[in-house]
Amino acid sequence: MCGIVGLVGHKDAVNKIIDGLKKLEYRGYDSAGMALVEQNSGELCVIKTAGKIANLEHEAHSKYKGAAEAGIGHTRWATHGKPTKENAHPHATELVALVHNGIIENYADLRKSLLAQGISLNSNTDTEVVMQMISLLLSKGVAPLEAVQRTVSSIRGTYAFGIVFKQHPEMIIGARKGSPLAIGVNADGKLSLGSDAVALSGFANQVAYLEDGDIAQLYTNGSLNILDKDGNKAARPWQPISKDQSIPDKKGYEHFMLKEIFEQPSTIADTLIHYIGRPSNKTVNIHPSGISWDQTNHITIIACGTSYYAGLVAKYWFEKYARIPVEVDVASEYRYRTPPVHEKSVGIFISQSGETADTLAALRYIRNLGHTCVTIVNIPTSTLAREANVVLPTFAGLEISVASTKAFTAQMAVLAYMLIEALKMRNDADLSFELAKEFLTVDALILNALDTMQGLTQLAKKLSETKDVLYLGRGVLYPIAMEGALKMKELSYIHAEGYAAGEMKHGPIALIDKGMSVIALCPYDKEGLFHKIVSNICEAKARGAQISILTCKKGRLLLEEAELKCPIYLYPDATQLTAPLIYSIPMQFLAYLTALNRGVDIDQPRNLAKSVTVE
């Protein structure tokens, strides 16, 4: 989503801000801009362009002639107003320029009040309203810090601001509430401002995260003044920026997504090594999570998008093996339905970015009711990680492609570890041992599944010409069917739905004709779901659907015996615990290959953001 970079006291601010914005491209954006106070002219210069950073870079190089030591840059993901140059940030008058991440909820009232005072507005954004309020106060002689303090006290919503002032080229101001904002410092004591540590990784080696309500003044001479929400001086702890927080390269792959798909055997192995020891003598050593499983009789799992599907898989696991009831909900619904939380419930919040606004709000809701909040998160320095009681990192490494792949399988690996730990602590050591042994084979099975990419190219070619795809699954593969459909939608822009196969005849079957492609996730299983889904496949086939079946060797044998003549794609033998991870691989490949055929932007699909920091 939107990204912020701000610099003070750094030489060559223009190029450095552009470098910082390029690091933020992975978050998803539709326009970009920057503002600097030029040293020679003393003017506030603002440049913004719709589309890619390359457009901004081109224009910046032709426009900025003088040096500047303080500046701010922004990548915008449109919320209020179309993704045009006018609506791009920074918004500026001749006195001040401001960039913003977040949403100002009372902007309509504030806008009215500005119009009544004779201020004209040039964009449709909520952000310009804030900038105009600050500018109005500055024009009346109010000092920058006070102008920002007075303005933020009258806004409702979420924000991270970066602000430069024409009359104070030696300073930028940052302020945050709801949306993350960090301050960086390099070895020479030069300061920077960024929406995350990735933005700062090129020009800082330490980072400090601002807290809600903080306002920070950053000076070219390296001094830093932070005031907390009550206006008192505050210090925020510095921590080193790790190598994991800098953008990796594609290592020869055409897209980050493909690289990240192929990294999964090693990312899963890294996750497993951290959490589960090698089982021997009927015991398994497990990393202690700090969760009191013996005191837990309910689990609430909250997440969004792909992370939500990881939570749904865990519901099947925990209910079947640990007999603990699990409620799973999407964060945007959960946070507003003021649900009662079971007395002995543990809250689990799953997120790749750790910055998803709705998931964070749900965590705060459950934490305020006094429950233990656990986060499964890929960015251990994120806001969710800072606010949870227990942090279980996924060790997937920075995920750059907007479509989540390796973070998703790593989330499921952490959930499987939690199940194994819960069983051990709840006196079911034998089952815990058996499941640990079984799950520790999953990285090797994923490696085998990765060999199937070539075999899916023809199917992907067909899918790229289709209008609708229906993914069918049952049990633990029902969430994976939904994940497959989500991947297909976000990458190829083809309409796709994931359905519980048994539910198909309660509605979606009406859509089936020869134009409908159906992908059935159909491994042979001890639980008997294989035979059930085969019946559902027959129902779809009878109505002309183009069916493709993903199964294992035994499944293929049975399908051949039943003379169900559909293309079959073979995957390694799987259990309830390993199947969701193994069958995620073809879901990822099919979406990737279909998108490749359609020539779309695979790593940054239209309209999507990697880190969804607004609700």
Closer residue to ligand AGP, CB minimum distance, 353 or 546: 353
What are residue 261's phi and psi, to 5 degrees?
A: -60, -45
Residue nearest to ligand AGP (CB): 305
For residue 376, the cross-strand partners are: 350, 392
Q: How far is the CB of 158 from ligand AGP (least distance, A)?
A: 16
| R_g of the chain, CA atoms, integer Å | 26
Burial 415-451 (b: 16+ CB within 10 A, else e): bbbbbbbbbbbbebeeebbbbbbbbbebbebbbebee
CB neighbour class for 187 (10 Å; exposed up to 12, middle 13-18, buried from 19)? exposed
Q: How far is the CB of 164 from ligand AGP (least distance, A)?
A: 30
User: What stretch of H or E contains 292?
Assistant: none
| 522 classed as catalytic | no
Kindly tell me which of 126 and 399 has the beta carbon lying closer to ligand AGP. Answer: 399
Closest CA to 367 of 354, 352, 386: 386
* Minimum distance, C-beta of residue 356 to ligand AGP, in the bound complex (Å): 3
What is the rounded distance in angstroms from the CA atom of residue 344 to the CA atom of residue 334?
18
- Whole-number minimum distance, CB 359 to ligand AGP, in Å? 5
Q: How far is the CB of 304 from ligand AGP (least distance, A)?
A: 4
Q: Closest separation between CB of residue 469 and ligand AGP, Å?
A: 16
Q: Exposed, middle or buried: residue 146 (CB in 10 Å: 0-12, 13-18, 19+)?
A: exposed
Q: Which lies closer to ligand AGP via its Cβ, residue 96 or residue 257? A: 257
Concerning whether 45 is annotated as a catalytic residue, the answer is no
- Which of the residues 22, 190, 487, 610 is marked catalytic? 610
**Which one of the listed residues 2, 304, 373, 522 is annotated catalytic?**
2
Edge-to-edge strands of the sheet including 239-240?
A: 44-50, 31-37, 70-76, 3-8, 191-194, 182-185, 206-209, 239-240
- List all residues 6 or more positions away from 378 whose beta carbon is below 8 Å from its beta carbon: 351, 352, 353, 354, 393, 394, 396, 398, 399, 407, 410
Binding site for ligand AGP (CB under 6 A): 304-307, 351-353, 356, 359, 402-404, 490, 608, 612
For the sheet with 568-570, list strands across it. Answer: 495-500, 468-473, 517-521, 546-551, 568-570
Nearer to ligand AGP, 126 or 490 (CB): 490
- Pick 135 or 404: Cβ nearer ligand AGP: 404
DSSP 210: P
Write the Ramachandran bin of 434: left for phi over 0, alpha for psi from -120 to 50, otherwise beta.
alpha
Catalytic positions, please?
2, 610
